A and B are shown apart, each in its own frame.
Chain A
Amino acid sequence: MKAFQQNLARLEAADTQVLGVSMDSPFSNFHFASQNGITFPLLGDWSGTVTRAYGLAKEYDIQGVKVQSARRATFLIDKQGKVVETQVDDEAVDPTKTVEACERKKLKE
């Protein structure tokens, strides 16, 4: 999320709202955001409903304990509500491609 924060000015200049989503509570996410200087909303998908709707539910094995969470993924959604760019797992860490796609879209409009 820090990488998105570092690119926030460019994303906002390209008419883009950033929303973070995780299966944490909104309260945990608020503290996570404050600690890391994140100013865009971090939404709490407590029940995992949205994570499942986006096909990202994943079981992690942490020291033998099975834990449900989301795969890391980024979706760029245009003003018509359509998915225009996706990134998943490790490639979703660096937002450069997403930022560039937003800027290209802005030029076209």
Chain B
Amino acid sequence: MRKVLLTVLAAGLMLTGWLQSPDSRQIRAQAPAKTPPPPPLKLKVGSVAPDFTLLAFDGKNLKKVSLGDYRGKKNVVLAFYVFAFTGG
């Protein structure tokens, strides 16, 4: 009887150790981070792109650039990026 109890106790300890191992803790911590899907874009295909005027620097002068400058003349690829000097 005592032997059985000891075996159960040992098995229990091993199980606790396994549950608390860094690996399993990591897996549980990572799981929720994966779930939120990126939200869809607010500006949809077919809608009018909001006009804007921003500044560009050419090394000498600041120059105003507006989306409206290209209306009726050229297509515009508007490429938003996260930060300068961060790759891409």
Residues of A bordering B, CB below 8 Å: 1-4, 11, 14-24, 26-32, 34-35, 41-45, 49-51, 53-56, 60, 69-86, 88-89, 92-93, 95, 98, 102, 105
For A2, give the chain B residue with the smallest CB separation: B88
Instruction: Please report which residues of chain B, range 28-86, place their CB below 8 angstroms from some CB of chain A when the two chains form the complex.
Output: 38, 41-52, 54-59, 62-63, 65, 67-68, 70-85
Q: Is the interface of A mostly helix, strand, loop or mixed?
A: mixed
Q: Which residues from chain B contact A27 at a C-beta distance below 8 Å?
A: 57
For the complex, count residues of B whose C-beta is within 8 A of A: 41
A45-B54, A53-B52 known; A70-B85 Cβ under 8 A: no
Docked-complex contact B75 and A77, CB < 8 angstroms: yes
Out of B47, B56, B73, B85, name the residue touching A83 (CB < 8 Å).
Answer: B47
Docked-complex contact B75 and A43, CB < 8 angstroms: no
Known contacts A78-B75, A79-B72; 9 further A-B pairs (Cβ under 8 A)? A19-B65, A28-B84, A77-B49, A79-B70, A79-B71, A81-B48, A82-B48, A83-B43, A83-B46
A19-B65, A69-B83, A74-B80 known; A44-B45 Cβ under 8 A: no
Docked-complex contact B45 and A84, CB < 8 angstroms: yes
Docked-complex contact A77 and B52, CB < 8 angstroms: no
A18 to chain B, nearest CB (A): 5
B36 to chain A, nearest CB (A): 13
Docked-complex contact B55 and A83, CB < 8 angstroms: no
For B63, give the chain A residue with the smallest CB separation: A41
A89 to chain B, nearest CB (A): 6
Q: Tell me, in angstroms, the Cα distance from A10 to B80 when the chains sit together.
A: 20
Out of A3, A11, A44, A53, name the residue touching B50 (CB < 8 Å).
Answer: A53
A11 to chain B, nearest CB (A): 6
Q: Which residues from chain A contact B44 at a C-beta distance below 8 Å?
A: 83, 86
Can you offer 26 A-B residue contacts whose CB atoms are under 8 A? A2-B88, A3-B88, A4-B79, A17-B76, A22-B81, A28-B85, A30-B57, A31-B84, A32-B84, A41-B63, A44-B55, A49-B52, A50-B54, A51-B80, A55-B41, A56-B41, A72-B88, A75-B43, A79-B70, A79-B73, A82-B46, A82-B49, A84-B75, A86-B44, A89-B38, A105-B75
